[in-house]
Amino acid sequence: MEALGRQLILEYYGCPAERLNDASFVEEVMVAAAESMGAHIVCVNFHQFNPHGVSGAVVISESHLTIHTWPEYGYAAVDVFTCGTVIDPWEAHAFLKERFGATRESTVEFRRGCFDVAPGTLPSAYGVTHEDLDR
């Protein structure tokens, strides 16, 4: 199935709190992850929350990488969205898992912009629909 882009929803568990609560470290890792897959960085913005947690985005020509951390739980929620077929988001996943020191992860890949599929025929693995919520 052809798609405009690929989006990885990544959940990292068991990460050391000190890594997830350091905005400079998180930014450095996210930028390096974008570079590791050959992405072209457009802009970067990260914010340190008080008392803990970091949120940030790396906007790339090919789309984006975003993160929200909960150091108190050793948890990071990461989104890697790439357009086209040149950049492989799974390369960023391998890099991020190692650098954040995750002991466990959960991953889901979405194909975004699937125009060659008839409406209502996408399998449920592509996300929750309004009909699913009504059940």
83 is a catalytic site residue: yes
52 is a catalytic site residue: no
Question: Which among 68, 106, 124, 130 is annotated as catalytic?
Answer: 68
Q: Which two tokens stand for residue 61?
A: 């020509």
Q: Which two tokens stand for residue 24?
A: 């400079």
Question: Which among 83, 93, 106, 124 is annotated as catalytic?
Answer: 83
114 is a catalytic site residue: no
Question: Which among 63, 93, 124, 130 is annotated as catalytic?
Answer: 63
So which residues are the catalytic ones? 63, 68, 83
